[in-house]
Chain A
Amino acid sequence: MKTLEELRAIREKMQGQISIRREDVDRAYDSASESAAVAEDAPKYRSHVLVCGGTGCTSSGSVQIMKVLQEEIDKNGLRDEVCVVQTGCHGLCALGPIMIVYPDATFYSMVKEEDIPEIVSEHLKDGRPVTRLLYSETVTDDGIKSLSDTNFYKHQHRIALRNCGVINPENIEEYIGTGGYQALGKVLTEMTPDDVIQTMLDSGLRGRGGAGFPTGLKWKFAKANDADQKYVCCNADEGDPGAFMDRSVLEGDPHVVLEAMAIAGYAIGATQGYIYVRAEYPIAVSRLIIAIEQAKEYGMLGEDIFGTGFNFNIGLRLGAGAFVCGEETALMTSIEGKRGEPRPRPPFPALKGLFQKPTILNNVETLANVPQIIVNGPEWFASMGTEKSKGTKVFALGGKIKNTGLVEVPMGTTLRQVIEDIGGGIPNGKKFKAAQTGGPSGGCIPAEHFDIPIDYDNLISIGSMMGSGGLIVMDEDNCMVDIAKFFLEFTVDESCGKCTPCRVGTKRLYEILDKITKGQGTLEDLDKREELCYYIKENSLCGLGQTAPNPVLSTLRYFKDEYIAHVVDKKCPAGVCKALLSYVIDADKCKGCTLCARTCPNGAIEGKVKETHVIRQDKCIKCGACMEKCRFGAISKK
């Protein structure tokens, strides 16, 4: 077990190295040399090469890149000068695998195995960056820009993600080197539980899982209830398709979550915590297991932490693919080893939660803010953001956007800034249609609200919600009726079946949407559907059902003309809904080559050699194979 003094010694030992990777390079260098003087056993590499080991970059082959990199470094005799560090997600997943060379923060993107020898001999050995392989935006006439000066990074403000992509998540000493576990030390030795709760209340931190409940208030309620056992749970069951911020925090900085849970435990009087994490995140799970082991070994978890008599342990529970388990009561039921069905509230978890004991449940990103609030003070945190939404928010940019990845911006940043300045806009010259936030519980935001500052309350006022932070961009090729149907199909599938409004209501709603996309809808269906939406919202037991109609309501609000087109004109303007499309051959362009007729799997195309061909609409199954194959561009869909 480590004491506070030992913690400081580790921090000083590591600081010099960690500061090489912090963005303010010059200052970091000064402090590096100072710390190096303090701690003689500190490692002294002149350069660090960071390779992203998040899910995105691992999927693009970063593990192999790292292996080859280390081999080349050894071959060039640089083993004692250059170290390779596997980090968590850097955020710019679209450009993976990502490799960053410090101290200059030179940014290599889409690195290939065969490029490594050149990068090592030219850049790492001889100090000449291989410009051809750098992220193109960083190569300018005035020299090479560092990572933090790129459009993607310079508008960001990283608190929850501050260590992601900076430290090795599998090494607790790197986390300590960034100031890790300092907040826990401060809380246990200098603050009472009430001080901690007051700090959280003053900071204005609200739950990042979606609903935005004030975190301090949740802790206060749980503290007020006496019990022989209380629990701190972490919701890492990030079920929103398209959201991966929690995964990135767990993969890139798992200790911040452990530290925050211990702080929460001290505040409410709990000695046991559980992290409920999706089984679909194998890298996050394995890093959490390592982090918990290391934290125990260093005495940051376990008995008598820092010699203060405070005990806190954390258990890991894996989900098994049920979206509803992201709902707080369902999550607790699942940890209890039962079917993950929600239960009615009240009683709220602060009174009767896990195993019927007072429990708090915080989302990963919420927890990732906690240690920084303790160290820097609540005023610092409250100085960022809007009046009612403080701090920053992490968004996962996905869909039709150039820079897909993870960004963290102050609350109140506009959608335009996020999508255009940071996200780089829509690719292929297409037109923006909508941004979807809040996953299956949220809504679609049209272009007319592009300049609205993003915070909890504004998003609700325009019919969407913050959700966990998935932000999926759609362009003119996406059909909004089809998107609404897509989300309903999701909720029908994930509805646990306990309450009728959700189980039956979402199914009926799906059927109406399905009818519309097949061109069989009527105007009456549109009205019926709206009524059904409100019925489901008002009568469902848990958040899943209460928010399930949101994608339908918001698309109806902003894209009613598309629904009308489907129902009245029997057309899908975006060309997505198959039943409403017809493939036709342009007689002027058709050369009569017969390729389409031979390609058609259903024999729907007729015509003789060197004569114009015709598609028989009654036989066409709308697979589009003919259009793909035609060499003269003679087939189009309408």
Chain B
Amino acid sequence: MASNKIPFAGSKEQEAALMQIISEHKDDPGCLMPILQKAQDIYGYLPIEVQTMIADELHIPLEKVYGVVTFYAQFSLYPKGRYKVSVCLGTACYVKGSGDIFNKLQELLGIGSGECTPDGKFSLEACRCIGACGLAPVLTVNDEVYGRLTVDDVEGILQKYA
């Protein structure tokens, strides 16, 4: 499992942005999910401090917020790297060898799935289908998509961000 040793360092601006989002959505039915999604956009992850603010503002118990955050794969309790490397392990990519690409990345970065390199630069995760099956196997670095990969391409891709 991923671990978190980086203390929370939210700024006043981030907090103001969060309060703004909460007051905009507060009265919509089922507003918790959209608020969490936007909060994650603001902070990059959802530490307990952010969850507490949301729970307080919405007047719901923290465990309810925590329950939702831990249910969905896209919500992260831990900060991600500056470059989020994500390898598709959907079926189409898998049968074309994305498992080997994932292993190569683990080897090169020295981290496992869900972890972040100590310098905070790269984080690695396996994702389910991103729908670019025509280009299988694919990986993404932040929003950049790399397709039709072979294991030998991996090192060159990482170097682009070095």
Contacts and interface: CB of A to CB of B under 8 A. Distances in A.
Given A242-B91, A478-B95, A94 B134 contact: yes
A59 B132 contact: yes
B2 to A, nearest CB: 15
B134 A400 contact: no
A280 B131 contact: yes
B134 A241 contact: no
Contacts of B147: 59-60
Interface in B11-41: 29-34, 36-37
B134 A93 contact: yes
Interface in B69-91: 71-75, 89-91
A323 B127 CA distance: 12
B72 A322 contact: yes
A231 to B, nearest CB: 10
B147 to A, nearest CB: 5
A317 to B, nearest CB: 7
Given A93-B134, A242-B129, A396-B133, A321 B94 contact: no
A364 interface: no
Contacts of A239: 128-129
Interface in B83-117: 89-96
B150 to A, nearest CB: 11
A569 interface: no
B135 interface: yes
A279 interface: yes
Nearest to A248: B131
Most chain B beta-carbon neighbours within 10 Å: one of A242, A335, A478: A242
Nearest to A322: B72
Interface in A389-412: 396, 398-400, 404-405
B67 interface: yes
Contacts of A280: 127-131
B71 A340 contact: yes
Interface residues of A, number: 54
B129 A244 contact: yes
Nearest to A340: B71
Nearest to A399: B95
B72 A486 contact: no
B107 to A, nearest CB: 9
A496 interface: yes
B145 interface: yes
A634 B135 CA distance: 32
Contacts of B68: 337-339
B143 interface: yes
B50 interface: no
Given A436-B91, A470-B91, A404 B37 contact: no
A490 to B, nearest CB: 8
Contacts of B71: 322, 339-341, 496
A56 B33 CA distance: 28
A58 to B, nearest CB: 8
Nearest to A338: B68
Contact of A337 (B30, B95, B128, B146): B30
A413 interface: no
A404 B133 contact: yes
Nearest to A470: B91
Contacts of A579: none
Contacts of B127: 280
Interface string A220-237: 000000000000000000
B95 A317 contact: no
A244 B73 contact: no
A355 interface: yes
Interface in A61-107: 92-94, 96
B72 A241 contact: no
B136 interface: yes
A474 interface: yes
Interface in A446-492: 470, 472, 474, 478, 483, 486-487, 490
A341 B72 CA distance: 11
Given A59-B135, A60-B135, A336-B30, A243 B129 contact: yes
B138 interface: yes
Contacts of A241: 89-94, 128-129
A334 interface: yes
A503 interface: no
A83 B107 CA distance: 48
B36 to A, nearest CB: 8
A284 to B, nearest CB: 8
Nearest to B60: A337
A239 B90 CA distance: 10
A60 B95 CA distance: 21
Interface of B: 29-34, 36-37, 67-68, 71-75, 89-96, 127-136, 138, 143, 145-147
16 contacts: A59-B132, A59-B135, A94-B135, A240-B129, A241-B92, A241-B129, A281-B131, A318-B37, A337-B29, A338-B68, A398-B92, A399-B136, A404-B135, A405-B134, A483-B95, A487-B91
Pairs A-B, 8 closest by C-beta atoms:
A93-B134, A241-B90, A398-B92, A321-B73, A320-B72, A59-B145, A337-B32, A337-B30
Interface of A: 55-56, 58-60, 92-94, 96, 238-244, 247, 279-282, 317-323, 334-341, 355, 396, 398-400, 404-405, 436, 439, 470, 472, 474, 478, 483, 486-487, 490, 496
Given A320-B36, A322-B72, 16 more contacts: A239-B128, A240-B129, A242-B129, A279-B74, A280-B128, A280-B130, A320-B73, A320-B75, A321-B72, A321-B128, A322-B71, A336-B29, A398-B136, A404-B92, A404-B134, A478-B95
